[in-house]
Amino acid sequence: MDSDPIVEVRGLNHWFGTGEARKLALSNINMTLTRGGFTVLMGPSGSGKTTVLTLVGCLRAVQEGSVRLMGHELNGASAKELTALRQRLGFIFQAHNLHESLTALQNVIMGVQVRPGLPDDLARHAAARALGLVGLSDRLDYLPAKLSGGQKQRVAVARALVGNPALVLADEPTAALDKDSASDVVDLLKRLGARRGTTTLLVTHDNRILDRADRILTLEDGRLVSVKETAAE
Amino acid sequence: MSRLLQRIFGRLPIGWLQLTHKRGRFAAALAGVAFANVLVFVQLGIMNSMAEATLRPYGFFDADVMISAADANALAEGGNVARQWMLQALADPDVNDGMGLFVGNVPWDRGGTDITLTTFGVDPGRPDFVTHGLTDGLMYLQVQDTVILDRLARGLPHEEAAAIRPQTPLAFETENRTLTAMTTFAGGGAFGGDGYMLVSDQTFLSLFPSRSSAAPDHILLRLRSGADVAATIERLQGLISDHSLRIRSFVDAAVEDLRYQQTQRPTGVIFGFGVLIGVLVGLVIVYQVLSADVADHLREYATFKAMGYRPRFFLGIVIEEALVLGLLGFLPGLIVGTAILTVMGKVTTLPLAMTPGMAVTVLLGTLVFSVISGGIATRRLAAADPADLF
The answer to whether residue A110 neighbours chain B at the CB level (below 8 Å) is yes
A121 and chain B in contact, CB less than 8 A: no
Question: H helices within chain A, ranges in order?
Answer: 49-56, 79-86, 104-113, 120-133, 149-161, 179-196
Question: By three-state DSSP, how is residue A136 classified?
Answer: coil
A55 interface with B at CB cutoff 8 Å: no
* Residue ranges, chain B, pLDDT below 50: none
pLDDT in tens, A181-220: 888 888 888 888 888 889 999 998 888 888 888 999 999 9
Q: Indicate the pLDDT class of residue A233, thresholds 50, 70 and 90.
A: very low
Q: Which residue has the higher pLDDT, B229 or A232?
A: B229
pLDDT at A2 over 70: no
Residue A231 pLDDT more than 70?
no
Q: Under a CB-based contact definition with an 8 Å cutoff, are residues B118 and B195 in contact?
A: yes
Instruction: Give the chain A residue whose CA is nearest to the CA of B387.
Output: A59
CB contact (8 A) between residue A99 and residue B14: yes
Q: Is residue A12 classed as helix, strand or coil in its secondary structure?
A: strand
The answer to whether the CB atoms of B308 and A84 lie below 8 A apart is yes
Element (H, E) at A5: strand A5-16
Does A100 reach chain B within 8 Å, measured CB to CB?
Answer: yes
Residue pLDDT, tens place only, B289-301: 888 888 888 888 8
Q: Do B14 and A102 touch (CB under 8 A)?
A: yes
CA distance B378 to chain A (A): 18
Q: Between A and B, how many CB-CB pairs are < 8 A?
A: 64
A183 inside 8 A of chain B by CB: no
Locate the domains of chain A by residue range: 98-164
- How high is the ipTM of this complex? 0.88
Q: Name B350's Cβ contacts closer than 8 Å, sequence gap at least 6.
A: B46, B49, B53, B188, B189, B190, B191, B344
CB atoms B17 and A53 under 8 Å? no
| B19 → chain A, closest CA residue | A101
Q: How far is B33 from chain A (nearest CA, A)?
A: 22
Q: What is the pLDDT of residues A67-98, one digit of tens each?
A: 999 999 999 999 999 999 999 999 998 888 89
Interface contact flag, B387 A54, Cβ < 8 Å: yes
Identify the CA nearest to B151 among candidates B161, B141, B160: B161
* Residues 294-323 (B) with a CB less than 8 A from some CB of A: 297, 299-300, 303-304, 306-310
pLDDT at B206: 94
From the list B18, B310, B390, the residue facing A53 with the nearest CB is: B390
With beta carbons under 8 A apart, name residues in chain A contacting B299.
Answer: 97
Least CB–CB distance from B17: residue in A50, A87, A102: A102
Give tens-digit pLDDT for A16-66: 988 888 899 999 999 999 988 999 999 998 899 999 999 999 999 999 999
